[in-house]
A and B are shown apart, each in its own frame.
Chain A
Amino acid sequence: GIQVEQSPPDLILQEGANSTLRCNFSDSVNNLQWFHQNPWGQLINLFYIPSGTKQNGRLSATTVATERYSLLYISSSQTTDSGVYFCAVDTGKLIFGQGTTLQVKP
């Protein structure tokens, strides 16, 4: 089956710093979603991005489908950005990566 790999697995930032999270996938997909799982377990939709670039405030994402990767950019990080970030690829069902655990320190 398709493999989804996220890097880095863990990331510690100082408040105000920028970061890039990566998601590699091993086969063609219908679409790709990025999520933030908050400390209570709720998955929050960040981006639905099968290809191209999208921006939402301090977050932006780029998917290069032909090269099978997606990037999530977080600028001017805040402590509330802490949590786990998942990418998931859709092949008819969502296949999740293992996540990147982000800790933003004040």
Chain B
Amino acid sequence: GAVVSQHPSWVICKSGTSVKIECRSLDFQATTMFWYRQFPKQSLMLMATSNEGSKATYEQGVEKDKFLINHASLTLSTLTVTSAHPEDSSFYICSARLTSGSDEQFFGPGTRLTVL
């Protein structure tokens, strides 16, 4: 199956700092990637859709100035959490959609962010 990586797998930062999370499709090209957030014991919540070469589309209630998304190539999307606060602590997961054949999505292993 298609492989998606995320880096870092976990990060601890101080309140007020910014954190960048990378999502890469390793063996396929992805014109569309997605960013999700998951709180403990809850389901995945879509934050934004990232399209290569264009601006991301954010879900209602997600602050675009706080969660900056860049999709500069067909294999890389980044999520930057700016001026992080403790309430931003969460598990962030990206996915990439196949562009040929089916439109199945494959998920990265997730990044656990803790803001102190």
- A interface vs B, CB < 8 Å? 30-31, 33, 35, 40-43, 45, 48, 86, 88, 90, 93-99
Contacts and interface: CB of A to CB of B under 8 A. Distances in A.
Nearest to A92: B49
Contact of A43 (B93, B104, B112): B93
Contacts of A31: 102-104
A41 B109 contact: yes
11 contacts: A31-B103, A41-B93, A41-B109, A41-B110, A48-B102, A86-B43, A90-B105, A93-B34, A94-B95, A94-B105, A96-B45
Contact of A45 (B42, B44, B106, B110): B106
Given A41-B110, A42-B110, A48 B104 contact: yes
Q: Which of B38, B102, B103 has the most CB of A within 10 A?
A: B103
Q: Which of A93, A97, A99 has the most CB of B within 10 A?
A: A93
B101 to A, nearest CB: 10
Chain B interface extent, by class:
20 to 34
Interface of B: 1, 34, 38, 42-46, 49, 91, 93, 95, 102-107, 109-110, 112
Contacts of A95: 46
Contacts of A48: 102, 104
Contacts of A35: 107
Contact of A93 (B46, B93, B104, B112): B46
Given A35-B107, A43-B93, 12 more contacts: A31-B102, A33-B105, A41-B109, A41-B112, A42-B107, A43-B44, A45-B1, A45-B107, A48-B104, A93-B46, A93-B49, A94-B46
A44 B95 CA distance: 11
Given A86-B44, A96-B44, A97-B43, A43 B103 contact: no
Nearest to B59: A93
Nearest to B98: A48
A99 B106 CA distance: 18
Q: Which of B38, B91, B107 has the most CB of A within 10 A?
A: B107
A56 B1 CA distance: 14
